[in-house]
């Protein structure tokens, strides 16, 4: 129980730190390599997208662009390198994703569906023997 309380407190503290430290400059959005793959975020104003993410982080619903950005994040870390304020936008998006999933703002990923995709890709690279052993 103590560990859970510690984690919740750490998460709350990190959220507060990010909300205070972020200047909403949009550099993290502009550096994100996943935006071309996020139809609702593509072409969006970078500052507005960040404001949306911070809204989600605060328990709000954000907007379609920010939710899409949160959903496609693959944790490349390109945003962290671009951030001039050491906010850690990669973690900011991660925390926003948890917040959004907990609040029903974005759906949780279906693990069964994910596993079936993993198996499809594995079959492309595994030998028949490996497929028999591992899949």
Site string for ligand SF4, 47-66 (x = CB under 6 A): ---x----------------
CA-based nearest residue to 93, from 129, 53, 121: 53
What is the spatial distance between Cα 75 and Cα 81, in angstroms, rounded to a whole number?
12
What is the closest distance, in whole angstroms, from the C-beta atom of residue 102 to ligand SF4 in the complex?
21
Sites for ligand SF4 among residues 16-35 (CB under 6 A): 22-28
Query: 17 Cβ partners below 8 Å, 6+ apart?
Result: none
Which of helix, strand or coil describes residue 96? helix
Q: Pick from 48, 61, 64, 82: which binds ligand SF4 (CB under 6 A)?
A: 82
18-37 burial code (b ≥16 CB/10 A, e <16):
beeebeebbbbbebbebbee
Q: Is 41 in the site for ligand SF4 (CB under 6 A)?
A: no
What is the closest distance, in whole angstroms, from the C-beta atom of residue 70 to ligand SF4 in the complex?
13
Q: Pick from 32, 38, 57, 87: which binds ligand SF4 (CB under 6 A)?
A: 87
Q: Pick from 34, 35, 41, 83: which binds ligand SF4 (CB under 6 A)?
A: 83
Residues lying near ligand SF4 in the complex (CB under 6 A): 22-28, 50, 82-83, 85, 87, 89, 92
């Amino acid at each position: 129980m103590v560990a859970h309380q510690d984690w919740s407190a750490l998460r709350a503290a990190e959220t507060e730190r990010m909300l205070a430290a972020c200047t909403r400059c949009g550099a993290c959005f502009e550096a994100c390599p996943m935006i071309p793959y996020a139809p609702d975020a593509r072409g969006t104003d970078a500052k507005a997208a960040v404001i949306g993410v911070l809204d989600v982080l605060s328990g709000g619903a954000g907007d379609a662009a920010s939710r899409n950005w949160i959903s496609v994040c693959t944790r490349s870390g390109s945003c962290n390198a671009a951030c001039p304020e050491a906010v850690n936008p990669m973690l900011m998006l991660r925390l926003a994703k948890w917040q959004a999933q907990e609040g029903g703002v974005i759906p949780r990923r279906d693990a069964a569906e994910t596993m079936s995709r993993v198996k499809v890709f594995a079959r492309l690279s595994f030998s028949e023997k490996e497929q028999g052993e591992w899949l």
